[in-house]
Amino acid sequence: MIDKVHFKWFKSIEDVEFKPGRVNVLIGANGSGKSNLLEALGVLSAAVSGRVDDEALLRRGVRPGVPALYKCSFPDIKGPLHIYFGAWHGSASYEVSLFNPIRYPSPAWRFHTEGLKKDNVSLIGRSHRAAVKLNPEAGLVALKMVEMSDQDDVLEMLNGLRDYAIYTPNTPTLRGIAPDTQPRQPIGLSGGQLANGVSDILKQRPLLRIGHPLNDSEAFFSRVTRDALRLIDWAKSYGTAQASSIPLSFSVGSTERVIRFTDRFMKSGRDTLSGYDASEGALYVLFHAVLAAHPRSPQICAVDNADHGLNPRLSQALFSKICDWYLKSPYSRQIFLTTQNPLSLDGLPLQEDQVRLFTVSRTENGRTVVNRIVLDEKLKKMADDGWSLSRLWVMGHLGGVANV
C-alpha cells in the first residue's frame, strides 16, 4: 500500500498531493483529471521498474504520449522542464523527476533526479548534477532492488508500485470474443483471460467440512465467490467450461475456455449460457471478483470507469462488496476506482477510514485539484435528514460536478 502520493507538472496536474486509503473512489466531471491521476501512478510505476518508455507505459495501461502532451502547458508556466512523482509508505518514500525534451524527444524518458528514503535517511539517490554520470534512461532504484531483503518494508512499497496497472475492461474482451491487446496475469487490462481467472478463484474455494472451521484465507475466497453469485440475481451458478461443451454459435470466435452460467429461471437442460450470451453486468461483476481475490492480482491497481455496463443499483451493491473484499482480504491490496454513476457512492462505507472518496475538479485556470470527502458532522446531519451521497453529489454539495 501507499499512504501518500505527490505529483507535479504532469498534464493538468500542476501540484497535487493526497493520501489514499485501501479503497479509493475518484469522482468528477469528464476531463477533470481523474485518468491523469491514475496515469501519474502508472508513470511512477514504470520509473520504479527502471525504464519509462511507451512499452513500459502500455503494460501499465497508461496512454503513451510525447513530452508536449505529458508536461503541463499552462500559459503562465515557464518551467520546470521535468515532471515530478512521489509516493510514501510508512517511513519509506520514493521520489523521481523525469525529463524529455519537447523539441527532440527520445524513446525513453531520462531520470533527472531519483531518491529512496527510509526514516528520512537517504538509501539511494541520484541527480543530473552528480559528478558520476549514470545512464539517464535507466533507473538506479530498480538496479538496487536486488540487494534488498524480502522483509524490507521499502521493498514492499517498491514491489507494489512496480506491478501497478490501470484496468479498462470492455464487453467483447470479457466475453472472450476479442483478444486482449494488453495481456497480464491473472487477467488482462481489457478483461482478457477472465474465464481462467474465474476458474482459478473457484479452485481456491474450500470444500465444506463438518467440524473444521474455515481459516481466514478460505473464508475470504468463500465470501467473494458467494457474493459474486448473489450480485448476479438471475444465475443459479457460474463457472467455466470448454467452449465446445456449451451452446455457442459456430460463427462466434471465442477462447478455448469460456464463462458458464446456469439460469435459475430456465428449465433443466436448456439453462446453460456462455459469457457470450449472458448479460454484460454479470461479466463485470466476475471481473471485479477476480481482481480482488486472485492470488496473482497486483498489490496496487486501478479500474477506470469501474461502473461501466452496470445498472445503477447493481453498481451500488458491487461497490459495497468491493469495499468489503479489500478491507477483509488476506492480501495487502489497494485499489483506485473512477465512476460517473452517482448511486455507486451509496455503496461506500465512508465510516471506514480506509474507504476514501475524492472529488477531482479543475480550477478556473484549469489546474486539477483533489479533495477528500470526509464524513464530518455536517454530512452526518444531512444523511440523517435523508440526503444520500448520490443526491449530495448530483446536487453539487460534494463538488466534482460538470460546470455545464
Residue 226 in any domain: the answer is yes
DSSP 148: S
For the chain, give the mean pLDDT.
90
Beta bridge partners of residue 370, listed in sequence order: 360
Helix residue ranges per DSSP H, 53-121: 54-59, 67-70
- Burial string for 37-50 (b: 16+ CB within 10 Å, else e) reads bbbbbbbbbbbbbb
Residue 228 in any domain: the answer is yes
- Terminal CA-CA length for the chain: 37
Beta bridge partners of residue 300, listed in sequence order: 334
Residue 165 in any domain: the answer is no
Q: Using one digit for the tens of pLDDT, what is the confidence trace for 310-320?
A: 999 999 999 99
pLDDT of residue 130: 74
Residue 314 in any domain: the answer is no
Closest listed residue to residue 41, CA positions, set 85, 8, 9: 85
Non-local (6+) Cβ contacts of 341 within 8 A are 307, 310, 312, 315
CA distance 315 to 313: 5
Residue 249, classed as helix, strand or coil, is coil
Residue 243 in any domain: the answer is yes
- Give the pairing type, strands 4-10 and 13-18: antiparallel
Residue 195 in any domain: the answer is yes
The gap from C-alpha 132 to its chain's centroid, in whole angstroms, comes to 38
- pLDDT-derived band of residue 255, with 50, 70 and 90 as boundaries? low
- Cell 498489490 sits at which residue? 299
Residue 267 in any domain: the answer is yes
Q: Using one digit for the tens of pLDDT, what is the confidence trace for 179-215?
A: 899 999 999 999 999 999 999 999 887 655 555 566 7
pLDDT of residue 169: 96
Q: Using one digit for the tens of pLDDT, what is the confidence trace for 62-92?
A: 998 889 899 998 998 876 679 999 999 999 9
Per the structure, the complete domain to which residue 183 belongs is given by 174-297
Q: Using one digit for the tens of pLDDT, what is the confidence trace for 326-358?
A: 999 999 999 999 999 999 999 999 999 999 999
- Cell 465446445 sits at which residue? 244
pLDDT of residue 211: 55
Residue 213, classed as helix, strand or coil, is coil
Residue 373 in any domain: the answer is no
Quote the number of domains for the chain.
Answer: 1
